[in-house]
Amino acid sequence: MAVGQHRPTQLVIDCQALHANIQAEVSRLKADCELFMVVKANGYGHGAVQVAQVAKDAGATGFCVAILDEALELRAAGFNEPILVLGVTRPADAPLMAQSRISATVADLNWMREASRYLKLTVPNRPLNVHLGLDTGMGRIGFRTTAELQAALNFLGAEADDFNFEGIFTHFSTADDPDQAYFKQQVAKWQEMVAILPFRPRYVHVSNSATSLWHDACNGNMVRFGVAGYGLNPSGTAIPTTPYPLQPAMSLESELVYTKRLRAGESVSYGATYTAPTDEWVGTVPIGYADGYERRLQGFHVLVGGQFCEIIGRICMDQLMIRLPQNFVRGTRVTLVGRNGQRQITLQDVADYCDTIHYEIACGFTSRLPRRYVN
């Protein structure tokens, strides 16, 4: 997809905010605990390579991604730190991961058996770093019983030339919930399973952002720091208080490219779903659902001149229209996410209107939107 460099619409990423969030978390960790920055999904829409550099400068010692290609992108950009792929990869890619020093998540014994065959054929004497994933209640991937885990440990012991047992981890599904009952069940299951380990690998980790913020006693010796690093509360609004202020790093800005005086009774956009009740000023903004600005945001608002302006009519693929309190000159700044004058629109505000979570909104902005890095 072409990047819209010749259009006045862009995501603005505040590197100082990123740095402050990550450094604040690093400063809370115990001396033996490391922070791996999670930069999957293009750094939650913020730009993976750029975020990784800021995170490294702020004290991150490694990175987590979701798919192998995201890890390879970081290696191609010159990052030599440990990288863990959190999702399940193909056993056939085990040699590539070993050669690139990229750590694999292992969720079942058959994966290791198949990966071992590929490693023996292509990269003997270059073991693949693996982290055993335990399913303690997330229900996604991982070993579910002590018997399954013991079988995997036995295999690792017998195939030490192919694998380096680098880590073990789980993922908590309700660490961002004020009700801790299910969280405690997962903690108990985790403790039951790791009790059978003959030794602890280099990395023992359970903490995503929510766990580290609100259950830091569980941190182990590595934290997978994700959405909070981008200045977003992992719970949305369920747990409003965090140990330090989170500084949102992402803003979305555009400009008015056209204004007109709409007469009472005239309609706007596809389906003529909006008809002006009185004469009013209308502005056109060059952004639409092809940029990830959701069509369902009709009726929401943007900021122009420090004032909330309603989105009227259906949002188009590339443009949307807003009701203006007065006529503004072409080129006037429009803020879709961020601060404008004394008012602010947050990603949480957008998510609430769409009945979703801010993660989805941030990750949904497409590559057609250029990212501009400031501070």
Does 345 share its domain with 274? yes
286 in a domain, yes or no? yes
260 is catalytic: no
Residue 123 has a pLDDT of 64
Is the pLDDT at 1 greater than 90, yes or no?
no
Geometric angle at alpha carbon 299, from 295 and 300, rounded to 5°: 85
30 in a domain, yes or no? yes
Residue 242 has a pLDDT of 96
Does 351 share its domain with 266? yes
Tokens of 121: 């054929």
pLDDT band at 344 (very low <50, low <70, confident <90, very high): very high
Asked whether the CA dihedral 342, 356, 172, 186 is positive or negative, the reply is positive
126 in a domain, yes or no? yes
Does 46 share its domain with 120? yes
One DSSP character per residue, 175-201 reads TTSS--HHHHHHHHHHHHHHTT-SS--
% of the chain residues with pLDDT over 70? 99
**Number of compact structural domains in the chain:** 2
1 in a domain, yes or no? no
119 vs 122, which has greater pLDDT? 119
241 in a domain, yes or no? no
Of 198, 230, 262, which residue sits at a domain end? 230
Tokens of 227: 């959405």
236 in a domain, yes or no? no
Q: How far apart (Å, rounded) are the C-alpha atoms in residues 292 and 288?
A: 7
Does 182 share its domain with 316? no
Does 161 share its domain with 292? no
Interval 184-231: pLDDT, tens: 999 999 999 999 999 999 999 999 999 999 998 888 999 999 999 999
**Cβ-contact 253, 333 below 8 angstroms:** yes
Does 165 share its domain with 40? yes
Does 74 share its domain with 203? yes
**Cβ-contact 219, 207 below 8 angstroms:** yes
Does 134 share its domain with 97? yes
Interval 25-48: pLDDT, tens: 999 999 999 999 999 999 999 999
Nearest in space to 334 (alpha carbons), one of 313, 314, 312, 306: 306
185 in a domain, yes or no? yes
CATH number at residue 82: 3.20.20.10
Strand partners, 287: none
323 in a domain, yes or no? yes
Catalytic residue of the set 40, 274, 293, 359: 40
Q: Which amino acid is at 358?
A: H
270 is catalytic: yes
Interval 232-243: pLDDT, tens: 999 999 999 999
Residues at the binding site for substrate are 140, 317
Does 61 share its domain with 147? yes
Radius of gyration for the alpha carbons in the chain, expressed in angstroms and rounded: 24
Does 91 share its domain with 202? yes
Residue 124 has a pLDDT of 66
Is the pLDDT at 120 greater than 90, yes or no?
no
Catalytic residue of the set 120, 184, 258, 270: 270
Distances (CA, A) of 113 to 9, 92, 127: 49, 11, 14
Residue 122 has a pLDDT of 80
What count of other Cβ atoms lies within 10 Å of the Cβ of residue 281? Answer: 16
Does 272 share its domain with 171? no
Q: How far apart (Å, rounded) are the C-alpha atoms in residues 61 and 35?
A: 6
Whole-structure pTM value: 0.94
CATH number at residue 308: 2.40.37.10
Does 113 share its domain with 181? yes
Range of the domain at 300: 250-356
Residues at the binding site are 140, 317
Residue 219 has a pLDDT of 87
